[in-house]
Structure 1
């Protein structure tokens, strides 16, 4: 059966289909006055709250590859990475504006799957997809998502604010996304080799890679840690500084330290490395710890907190204390299992322009 393309149904036909898919998310927002269908979306912030906003671009062949990324997973990730930025401010996400630039030859079914993924993630986080824009693209699929959120002003947490003596904490496990990407990249190379040799590529990607599914899922379907933000609010625990781990633990810790004017000392044996990442690293003769420190896209929360505040959440097993904040002149260091210190300033993280 021939697939319809965006050029077959036109811009307004595409908008009608998108509107129908995201309409159920609008009920998530009590403050939404006007969603899709006018020149602007309109919402009313809750009394006593401040509003925060974040935006991200996802560009084909820069952030994702449609050969290894299902469109529905991509849509979910597009919402999640923005929701994660809101969570990193200790705020709760509320509304999203989504814009896409689409090659005219792209099947409409793929765009629908993309938005079905977005709508599913939006419902998970209580986000209303309130509007956006569509355009054609000559160079691949481009997705731009802006998410707004709300928080009491005195609850907002910035990258600045860390103090010497504070604990350095991180949620979940690290390195899984980088490991999952390595596996998918390897599989793509095998697929391309088969095509170049006019051979049939017969693997069922997800079924045949079941043993790596934990890492692949962490890469394709990251989850914003809204649950942690809810717990922090519920227990009245206040981080002194916070960021989400998008560029790698080392890089994002440097962001906190530079904004706060501090150093930090991490303990290697306390860093929660994803177990599947260790398995994959052994197989590929690589280093799972390096993926945890420099890999990025884990979208866990990295935060600092005084020892007194940490007592309020010390029973939570999904939060690891991995080090402490130090004076700036002591640098940003990692102490390995042999007691040797490594300068984290020298380790790479993700940089779009390098």
Structure 2
């Protein structure tokens, strides 16, 4: 069946029947607006992302279910970067009229599987037809106590720069997809990233991260946002960058280029006071997540990159930019 056979309201009803209500949702799908009951003494944090066919994804590379999971994950990652617990989300989607209901069902299965996994509820959105491929827009809402919200602007000179997991994997996975590879660790890191929600909330709740961002556009670009808003500079030790074995094999000639400028790993990049290093290690070990200290916050501006032999390193591209 094609969507033109199902119709817009048939599609909305098809989606609504799959959604489970949550205590925080007073009114969900069906009215002109949703009604939500916020948790007492918390702020609501809101983030939005768009994913366009041919820009953010290629349906020749990914299955619909993985695309659904990723579409929600990239929004949840933004909430994680501020230490917020995700609660609800809105889904806007534009589809070609000949888009199959099978693909749509697969996409929604991925979205709602990820939603159930992280305890977030679909409360509404919008649907329309598209003349230029699939467009997905998700707005996610989360909560955190005001004093625990972690911003990009809290870094101070002398603090350590840290990152969870490994970096560069998703960018390497994209290169492999373009070469015709459709499976493997690096490919999965590109198509189905893991938002670090529990880690982000824990770092915030324990007052350990002074500034935080998720690695969506690349380590250099994203750390640059922290430095700019905090009024500081940073020095990164490239020998400390965490790379997976698969990434090292793929990027044997130059392990730093993709690791520094490649985006979509959705790891957390954050700053901590040196005295909290052991506390962070113990906390993240409880989640089975590794982290690496990759540099320090310094006076001035910009980011200095230092190779293991002490030589300066220059990146060709600092990170992803939609208009460059």
Fold conserved between structures, TM > 0.5? yes
Shift of 1:239: 1.1
Task: Report if aligned partners of 1:95, 1:127 keep a CA contact under 8 Å in 2.
Answer: yes
Shift of 1:227: 2.2
Alpha-carbon distance in structure 1 between the residues aligned to 2:186 and 2:231: 34
Q: 1:333 aligns with which of 277, 295, 304?
A: 304
Q: Identify the residue that residue 243 of structure 1 maps to in structure 2.
A: 213
Q: Identify the residue that residue 276 of structure 1 maps to in structure 2.
A: 246
Shift of 1:287: 3.0
Alpha-carbon distance in structure 2 between the residues aligned to 1:325 and 1:144: 35
Shift of 1:18: 1.2
Alpha-carbon distance in structure 2 between the residues aligned to 1:257 and 1:233: 19
Q: 1:223 aligns with which of 181, 194, 211?
A: 194
Alpha-carbon distance in structure 2 between the residues aligned to 1:252 and 1:180: 20
Task: Report if aligned partners of 1:332, 1:343 keep a CA contact under 8 Å in 2.
Answer: no
Shift of 1:79: 0.4
Aligned to 2:158, what secondary structure does the other structure show? coil
Alpha-carbon distance in structure 2 between the residues aligned to 1:223 and 1:53: 19
Q: Identify the residue that residue 79 of structure 1 maps to in structure 2.
A: 72
Alpha-carbon distance in structure 1 between the residues aligned to 2:188 and 2:202: 24
Q: Identify the residue that residue 352 of structure 1 maps to in structure 2.
A: 322
TM-score by length of 1: 0.87
Shift of 1:237: 3.4
Alpha-carbon distance in structure 1 between the residues aligned to 2:260 and 2:204: 28
Q: Identify the residue that residue 222 of structure 2 maps to in structure 1.
A: 252
Q: Identify the residue that residue 235 of structure 2 maps to in structure 1.
A: 265
Q: 1:319 aligns with which of 291, 294, 306?
A: 291
4+ residue runs of structure 1 moved beyond 3 angstroms? none
TM-score by length of 2: 0.95
Q: 1:104 aligns with which of 97, 107, 118?
A: 97
Alpha-carbon distance in structure 2 between the residues aligned to 1:221 and 1:257: 29
Task: Verify: 1:13 aligned to 2:10, yes or no.
Answer: yes
Go from structure 1 to structure 2 and tell me whether the alpha carbon gap of 1:292 and 1:47 turns closer, same or farther (over 3 Å shift).
Answer: same
Aligned to 1:140, what secondary structure does the other structure show? coil
Shift of 1:238: 2.5
Alpha-carbon distance in structure 2 between the residues aligned to 1:47 and 1:112: 36
Shift of 1:311: 3.4
Q: Identify the residue that residue 48 of structure 1 maps to in structure 2.
A: 41
Task: Verify: 1:168 aligned to 2:161, yes or no.
Answer: yes
- Cα RMSD of the aligned pairs, angstroms, is 1.5
Alpha-carbon distance in structure 1 between the residues aligned to 2:280 and 2:37: 33
- Which residues of structure 1 form unaligned runs of 5+? 188-204
Go from structure 1 to structure 2 and tell me whether the alpha carbon gap of 1:164 and 1:347 turns closer, same or farther (over 3 Å shift).
Answer: farther
Q: Identify the residue that residue 203 of structure 2 maps to in structure 1.
A: 232
Rg comparison, structure with higher value: 1
Q: Provide Cα deviations, 1:322-345, integer angstroms capped at 9, x if missing partner.
A: 11000015x41111011012356x
